[in-house]
Amino acid sequence: MKATGNIINNTSVDDLSERIKIVYFEAQRNNLGDIIKNEEITRCEVWAKVLPLSAKRNLDSSVELTNEIIYRIVVRYRTDILPDDLIIWRRKKLRQTIPAYDAESRKIWTILECVEMVKDG
């Protein structure tokens, strides 16, 4: 778990100024068990505080440069966010890097650590 210190201490409900959507994918299979459709389903839409933390450049296995932008997102306490859920914010799809966790174990805020992969174009 990452240190959240000042981010949580300085967060109030008024700081939740960004609207995010938390989605998951439900696979539909044919009679053979093959996935024929992967449907995006909205789990919830919530107000959040979105903090870009850092960025880095990676060289992946196909010798292609990718940029990673790392975000920390604070939302009101929730227990229904699963590790495979995607976060959609400002038309960006963010993937969670660790499971959502209860900040300071006080059931006030949930923290989402996310990454956005951006390919060089």
At residue 2, does pLDDT exceed 60? no
Phi, psi of 104 (to 5 degrees): 60, 15
Which tens digit of pLDDT belongs to each residue from 32-73?
878 777 888 999 999 999 998 887 766 666 666 668 889 999
Total number of domains constituting the chain: 1
Sign, Cα dihedral of 53, 93, 73, 105: negative
* CATH number for position 55: 2.40.10.270
Both tokens of residue 87?
A: 């976060």
Total H helices, total E strands in the chain: 1, 7
Q: Which domain holds residue 34?
A: 5-119
**Global pTM value:** 0.78
Among 6, 15, 10, 24, residue whose Cα is nearest residue 96: 24
pLDDT for the residue 72:
95
